[in-house]
């Protein structure tokens, strides 16, 4: 199974200058654990639940601090044709829980460790 089979639906994005609080609200409303951060139409970063935790624990001004201050800049990304077992091994090795899926320079989805784990452990192959 390829990573492309794990992604569906809309990728939730936010601008880099959006506040941390707005990012948290967006994640909560969309019921996702990460957001793709877009700047000038390009993927500039990824903002995750861990980033929110780090911001709060560091005393960030959640209404004034931009997501760009806390996000992971220019994150690693999966190719949609990557095998899910390879993706699982890679996510375990790096500790990442969410990774953008990029094809020909364009963001086409977001893969979570939950998606990858489901695909790897499903006896019917997804």
Residue 99 lies in a domain: yes
Report residue 78 as tokens.
């999966």
- Predicted confidence at residue 75, as pLDDT, reads 87
Q: What is the CATH number of the domain that holds 75?
A: 3.10.580.10
Span 51-109, pLDDT tens digits? 999 999 999 999 999 999 999 998 888 899 999 999 999 999 999 999 899 998 889 99
Q: Are strands 34-39 and 13-15 parallel, antiparallel or unpaired?
A: parallel
- Asked if the structure places residue 126 within a domain, the reply is no
Q: Count how many domains the chain has.
A: 1
* More confident position, 74 or 126: 74
How far apart are the C-alpha atoms of 4 and 76, rounded to whole Å?
Answer: 16
Q: How confident is the model at residue 124 (pLDDT cuts 50, 70, 90)?
A: low
Domain region containing 78: 3-121
Q: What's the token pair of residue 91?
A: 């996510």
């Amino acid at each position: 199974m390829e990573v492309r089979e794990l992604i569906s639906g809309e990728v939730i994005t936010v601008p880099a200058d959006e506040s941390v609080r707005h990012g948290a609200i967006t994640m909560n409303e969309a019921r996702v654990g990460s957001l793709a951060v877009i700047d000038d139409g390009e993927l500039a970063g990824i903002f995750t639940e861990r980033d929110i935790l780090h911001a709060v624990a560091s005393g960030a001004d959640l209404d004034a601090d931009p997501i760009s201050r806390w996000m992971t800049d220019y994150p690693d990304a999966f190719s949609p044709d990557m095998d899910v077992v390879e993706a699982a091994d890679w996510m375990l090795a790096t500790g990442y829980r969410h990774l953008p899926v990029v094809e020909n320079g364009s963001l086409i989805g977001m893969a979570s460790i939950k998606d990858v784990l489901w695909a790897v452990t499903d006896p019917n192959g997804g």
